[in-house]
Amino acid sequence: MIVVCLANVRSGTTALARCFRGSESFVNLGEIFYNSDGLMGHYVKRWEAPNCPSIDRFEEYLEFLRSDPNHLYWIDIKFHDLSRFDPIQYGLLEPPKLLLKLIEYGDQALLLDRSNCLRGACSVLQATATGNFHSKGGVSGDGSQRKDCISRPDTIQAVRLSQIRKNQFLAVERFLLSHTNLFVSDYESMFHDVEGSDNRAFLGQWMGLEVVQEPDLRKISSDWPDWFDVDLARTILDGTGDHWWTA
Amino acid sequence: MADSSKWRFPEDLITVARYDALAQPDSGVRQALIHVHPGIVTFHEISFCEDPPSDWIRGISSLRPHLNAQNLRAGSREDREFIARSHRTRSSRTTPLKAIGETSRDKFIILDLEGLDFDVCASLFNRSDVVGIGCEHALMSDAEVIHLRCTALECGFYFDFSDEDAIFLRESLLTESEI
């Protein structure tokens, strides 16, 4: 059995998957398309090979996982990997081939959002700056070293990125409307809301898992980064439907 | 310096009268390109150099000749979203605004483009001779507003949005207390 988790980066997929590791049947395969630069990992890291595998081989791989009735395999696919099997990177203007296949397969699909897109964008930039996420070094978008003081360019970049993330999610959600086995949730409802524990338990129940553990909330930040200019972001978002992000 | 009262827009341009304050001679603005009639994309050029605006130079242009902008006029949020969705996919020829007015002279440009404010306005931020932009009845989606504000800040423009209108002014023209 398979559950495919679709989300943008820094949406809490890893933290969420860890909540289910207490179940013997649960196998977290992680980001199977994540490029870890040749580091050793699980055998499915073969999908990281420079030569992109075909959608047929991917289908064979999923069939192999489905043939194991004793385990539930958690596959984490990020939005930027959805166009992996398309000859041209269409972005998300057209339904990516991979997404269409996932709808066709009908495996359980979890679409995870970050309802506060601005916090998600800040998290991406912060992780990039500290070098613990995808790119190396604390380099800002303009090539300069990111500092622990308020930065207008970085704040504007975060607002822009938040809009991109929001649009990406809406596009994927729209494409997935015809999926017959879809669960849509968001980071906040899983980790920040008072009903978070119940929400995680409900998700576990949906996946057929018997054990749902508490998340490690120490790694979940609820503050704005030091470089984030909240007043400037409020000015940019003032009067729009997204103004609440800085509330 | 001339009395600013001599520099008022003509009375038939009442829709742009509220931008008078930003187009004062002492603000460094020397020319303004003004669109007066909603839906009819015609620009008038006014000189702020020495004389009152009796010496209108009429520059006529059409940003998108085949597009009936009047049909896009609407006020509700749903309509704005529709406009934002619709016009983004249109590919139409634009008359380069640099063809209007004297290049290298500071300009304050007022747009009333019925849903086209976003992309036209964004294209003007990078022009060094544009010191201010006024968007009348700025029909933009929230996403467009946010992106336009981001672009404005990155290009050194201060902005002020009212319910319908938007003003962008190059920050170098603001006094310290205004920034």
The answer to whether A3 and A207 are in contact (CB under 8 A) is yes
* B142, B150, B161 member nearest A159 (Cβ): B150
Q: Give the DSSP per-residue string, A96-131.
A: -HHHHHHHHH--EEEEEE-SSHHHHHHHHHHHHHHT
Q: Quick one: closest CA in B to A166, which residue?
A: B143
Delimit the domains of chain A by residue range: 2-246
ipTM exceeds 0.90, yes or no? no
SS3 assignment, position A78: strand
Indicate the pairing of strand A72-78 with strand A2-7.
parallel
* Cα(A225)–Cα(A155) distance, integer angstroms: 10
Q: Looking at beta carbons, which residues of chain A come within 8 Å of B149?
A: 235-236
Q: Do B143 and A232 touch (CB under 8 A)?
A: no
Q: Can you name the residues that pair with A133 across neighbouring β-strands? A: A135
Taking only the tens place, the pLDDT of each residue in A88-112 is 655 556 788 889 999 999 999 999 9
Q: Give pLDDT, residue A2.
A: 94
**A158 Cβ contact partners less than 8 Å away, ≥ 6 residues apart:** A118, A121, A122, A125, A228, A233
Contact B144, B84 (CB under 8 A): yes
Q: Which of A153, A156, A241 sits opposite B142 (nearest CB)?
A: A241
Q: Smallest Cα–Cα separation from A174: which of A71, A64, A96, A66?
A: A96
Give the number of other Cβ atoms within 10 Å of residue B65's Cβ. 11
Tokens 């989606």, residue located? B141
Distance CA B88, CA A224 (A): 33
**Residue to test with chain B: of A118, A229, A236, most B Cβ within 10 A:** A236
What's the pLDDT at B177? 53
Half-sphere exposure of A66 (CA within 13 A, CB side): 11
Min Cα–Cα distance to chain A from B166, Å: 12
From B167's Cα to the closest Cα of chain A, the distance in A is 14
Percent helix / strand / coil, chain B, rounded to 5 = 35, 20, 45
Contact B25, B48 (CB under 8 A): yes
Residue in B with minimal Cα distance to A240: B142
| Token representation of residue A154 | 């970085």
Q: Evaluate whether the domain defined by A2-246 bears CATH number 3.40.250.
A: no
Q: What local confidence, expressed as pLDDT, does residue A140 receive?
A: 46
Separation between Cα atoms, residue A109 and residue A96, nearest integer Å? 16
Ranges of residues in chain A with a pLDDT under 70 are 34-53, 87-93, 131-148, 218-221
Q: Which two tokens stand for residue B172?
A: 């170098």
C-beta of residue A30 within 8 angstroms of C-beta of residue A213: no
Q: What is the pLDDT of residue A57?
A: 81
Please state whether B92 falls in left (phi above 0), alpha (psi between -120 and 50) or beta. beta
User: Closest Cα partner for B146 from A150, A226, A162, A247?
Assistant: A162
**Chain A interface, mutation test: which of B88, B141, B146, B149, most A Cβ atoms within 10 Å?**
B146
pLDDT tens string, chain B, 179 residues long: the values are 223 332 333 344 333 333 433 344 444 544 455 544 443 333 444 433 333 233 222 222 233 333 333 333 333 445 445 444 544 333 333 344 444 455 666 667 767 655 556 767 787 888 787 777 877 666 678 888 899 999 999 999 988 887 767 888 888 755 555 44
What confidence score (pLDDT) does residue B95 get? 40
State whether A239 and B145 contact (CB < 8 Å): yes
Among A142, A168, A136, A170, which residue's Cα sits nearest to residue A155? Answer: A142
Residues B80/B117, Cβ–Cβ less than 8 Å: no
